[in-house]
Amino acid sequence: MPVILFAAAGVFLCMAGANAMVFGLFFPYLIADRLPAEVLLDQAAVGGAAVALGVAFAVLGLAHLATAVALSRGARVAETCGIVLGAGMALLAFGLAVALLVSVVAASAPTAVLLPPAVIMGLAAVAYGAATAGILRGRNGPI
């Protein structure tokens, strides 16, 4: 199960990163037009931020894919990488879910907009936690 989770998340993150880079390079005006009027950012700044975010997502996706490959091959360092990445992502997803739920309670945006991503982040936290626990249960010796 951890291999499938890391591989699927890696593909998703790489695709999201590539999309963010494309939008940042070729369509920054689509992002800039959605910002409030009081935000004083030009299209180049918004595009640069989208490209930087896309690169970060792609690198995280490649880390997921590398961990999935290492786990499937039984590499010695694979368990450590899987535990660190899985636990970190579980905490990140949990934190995002809590932040989204707080925004729902504070009514900072319509519930229909914030509740679905909150549920998805909660499920991602559970999946990453289960994958990390599975790696810990199946390890052979110290990490």
**86-138 tens-digit pLDDT:** 999 999 999 999 999 999 999 888 889 999 999 999 999 999 999 999 998 88
Residues whose CB is less than 8 angstroms from the CB of residue 85 and which lie 6 or more positions away in sequence, other chains included: 6, 63, 64, 67
**Model confidence over 38-74: pLDDT tens digits?**
888 888 999 999 999 999 999 999 999 999 999 999 8
Contact partners, residue 68, CB within 8 Å, separation at least 6: 2, 3, 4, 6, 7, 10
Stated pTM of the model: 0.85
